[in-house]
Chains A and B, each alone.
Chain A
């Protein structure tokens, strides 16, 4: 059972993907590839898994986007969840906007917990928040999304060593394993090798998710992780397709940080049904 039918969640994902493409296209700037790949995860988190109430300033569950460059998917899901109006999506990356190129608390955008963009920092912050919840006797969950290329940052491994050693509870890390980074496939730039073994040897409970673009599978993995996390930290190695949902963008690092042209946008939008109404430009 889910709060919303799976078909409904898939419909939201389609709209989120349209938002991502339209935002990036409008300013001819931003990161569509990873955003499209993580759309299903964020929809599953915000519309099914997490306990949160956009009308409140303090949330039970927390989400940290460590790979801040996929801000388009974050902003779309926050707006579609009710943290702010969808009209504001049209201000993405423009001057005087709360929707900065990379997410920040500095401009007062609701739903953002910390600035991110310089990579490798989100897991540490997530551990801190999970620890504060434990100290307060709270049971809320902390979810942290990282990119796979981001794991090349040393700080990630400082944090990865700390969390299991200190049995940090209610912490669920998620790695977007799309195998791509700016300069090419991760296997060519700096191979990550066996991430499962790496995290297992650090003491994490590792969940492999083969299809991170299937909502039901995502929900199953996230629920399992939430249950396991009461004992100690859990990490989901989530395979996704970069650019998922737009055939000519899928599985290519080319679309990491490139905006579609007018004709490419039209072609992409034709593959994604408008389910909740596009935000006005």
Chain B
């Protein structure tokens, strides 16, 4: 894949679990809370190694967020774990008042984000969480793309002062970023160099964007792919630098077109340097049950969709 090698499919949530275990050793102030999803969140290794610093909350997410906020007052760095839907929408007011407005150093770690949760269906497939979290003043929002990057991000947020929303997923996906990479919060990563179009992607869609870039390479189109692992603070300069060169942009995310990366990029372009943009995102609808790969195609988040968006945006640029 255009200079990137998939070292074997792995789930991003396992990257979180591996890093949490490491933090248990390196950061005695790290505590973990989980709302009855310890296995799903891959928090069981931490629980077994550090039982005195693991809190089983039960199915009570509001209480989990509140307790996490309270734990910071005693100098702890709490990592909460549940599905993305129950980490955000269900507890929005608790995060808003007890964490964000109260400036508490809570790390909200959310698995099973987006459509790729699969068969459980729309009740569990939140596609609004990036928007919800990035609207909160002071909240850092991170959506890494693979196992290695999720592991690095988890380690990095322990040393980052302030509330963080860390979003990752359920399925095994390509693992292609460097092992033991340094994760710089707020710094976009340019993955390929291109001159015809910029593609900025986040989370699972980064690999899909690379797949699309490879297809287009064969058609003679040069694509610059940028991995936006940090939604907030947003690396505006990296995006602007790229579009000043390419003159058009496609955004790709496993999220609603409202409130997500696409909207964030559009705002950046409108207020700084306007070029044509196409959005690859879920179009104002809920998800449904199905296999992750089937859902990504049905809801327009496949490599073919990115390819089509690239053609469209290049055509708009040339008009």
Interface residues of A (CB under 8 A from B): 62, 64, 104-106, 113-118, 120-133, 135-136, 138, 154-155, 158-159, 161-162, 166
Contacts and interface: CB of A to CB of B under 8 A. Distances in A.
In the complex, which of the residues B58, B66, B72 has the most CB atoms of chain A within 10 Å of its own CB atom?
B66
Interface residues of B, number: 32
Q: Which 3 A-B pairs have the closest CB atoms?
A: A128-B70, A132-B74, A124-B66
A156 to B, nearest CB: 9
A135 B101 contact: no
Interface string B42-72: 0000000000110101101011111111111
B73 A113 contact: yes
Interface of B: 31, 52-53, 55, 57-58, 60, 62-76, 78, 93-94, 96-98, 101-104
Contacts of A127: 63, 66-67, 70
Given A154-B62, A159-B63, A162-B60, A131 B102 contact: no
Contact of A136 (B60, B63, B74): B74
A158 B60 contact: yes
B63 A155 contact: yes
A118 B53 CA distance: 29
A84 to B, nearest CB: 18
A133 B70 CA distance: 10
A128 B60 contact: no
Contacts of B96: 118
Contacts of A132: 31, 70-76
A155 B66 contact: yes
Given A104-B101, A104-B102, A106-B102, A128 B75 contact: no
B62 A124 contact: yes
Contacts of A125: 66-67, 69-70, 73, 98
B75 A106 contact: no
B66 A159 contact: yes
Contacts of A62: 73
Nearest to B137: A106
B66 A123 contact: yes
In the complex, which of the residues A131, A136, A138 has the most CB atoms of chain B within 10 Å of its own CB atom?
A131
15 contacts: A113-B73, A118-B93, A124-B64, A124-B65, A124-B67, A125-B66, A125-B70, A128-B66, A128-B68, A129-B73, A131-B55, A131-B67, A132-B71, A132-B75, A162-B60
Contacts of A121: 62, 66, 94, 97-98
